[in-house]
Structures are given as structure tokens and as C-alpha cells.
Amino acid sequence: MSDTRQQIKAHVQTNAGIHFNELVRLSEFAPGQIQYHVRRLIDAEEVVREERYGQTHYYPPRYDEWERSALALFRRETARAVVVYLIEHEPSRPTAVADDIGIARSTLEYHLDHLVERDIVDKRYDERNRVTLSLSNPDRTAPLLSEVTPTVPDRLVDRFTRLVDGLLENGHDSR
């Protein structure tokens, strides 16, 4: 294996779920070089490529489908904050989660849709139709959090969303 391919593989190994653009930023190689070598790594089954939430992610093959989904979601600062909150405070009501992490309820629901869809969070309704949130797989979830840190672009998107939600919420309150 060439040194270039080995370096790209090492980036993927240490940054599970890395986006293509982040891989380009972290390496010294041109995008075309990375595409060429990633394609060869995928063909050799040394890297897994998946499209998740509008971005291409790369994973070491040791992760199963559920773990790959979780890692992609944990790269988003807000989804990660929801999961961390539930680790510390489960079970919880959605209003408490949104209030305590400082996001609008609509933003929480957006992230919950993905987290519930991927079986990371359970959303249960009681007899009075009140919602309670808890982790679906807490023993598997917590260790994965330490493997991923949201990238700067992902954090900026989440913070922009929070800012807009705050402005809309404050504008609604002033009426």
C-alpha cells in the first residue's frame, strides 16, 4: 500500500465517520488524490463509504450499521448535546431537554427525528400522550461519543440554527 493511501486510511481510522471535506482539510493531499485512494480503500474493504444526511462519511469497517449511523449523528453538536443530556438525565421530557440545552423545541424535534429513526433514542408516549425520551442502547451509545468530536463546520451550522431559533422565538414572544 502506498504511503499516501496509508495516510488516508489512518485519517479514517482515527476519525470514524469523517466527511470527505474534513478529510481533505486534515490531509495534505488534493481532493482528486483522496478520491482515487479512498476508492481503492473501499474496493479493498479497508474503508466503508456511506451517504448520511447529505454528506459522504468514511468509516473503518469494524463499525456496524447502527454504529455508523450514531457516529454520523454525533458529529452534529446539537444531536450530541441531546444524547449527552439523556445519558445524564434519562428519562426526560422533550421540553426539559430543549430548555436545558438551550434550543427551540422545533430544533430538538428535528434532531430527535434522526435519533429515533436510527434507534439511538426512544420516544415513548404514556396514557395521557405525554412524551418521554430515553436512550435505546445506552451501553453502546456512551462509548461512541468519545470517538467523535463535531467538526467546526458542523458546529457552525448547529449554532446558526440555534441563533435563528432564538431570534424567531424572541420575535414571537414580543408580540
Q: Global pTM?
A: 0.77
Whether 167 shows a pLDDT value over 70: the answer reads: no
Whether 175 shows a pLDDT value over 50: the answer reads: no
CATH class of 69-173: mainly alpha
pLDDT band at 149; cut points 50, 70, 90: low
Q: What ranges do the domains of the chain cover?
A: 3-63, 69-173
Out of 2.60.40.2470, 1.10.3720.10, 1.10.10.10, 3.40.50.620, the CATH code matching 3-63 is 1.10.10.10
Choose between 171 and 13: higher pLDDT: 13
Give me the pLDDT at residue 160, please.
55
Instruction: Write the pLDDT tens digit of every residue in 46-89.
Output: 999 999 878 899 999 999 999 999 999 998 888 999 999 999 99
User: Residue type at 97?
Assistant: V
Q: Do domains 3-63 and 69-173 have the same CATH topology?
A: yes
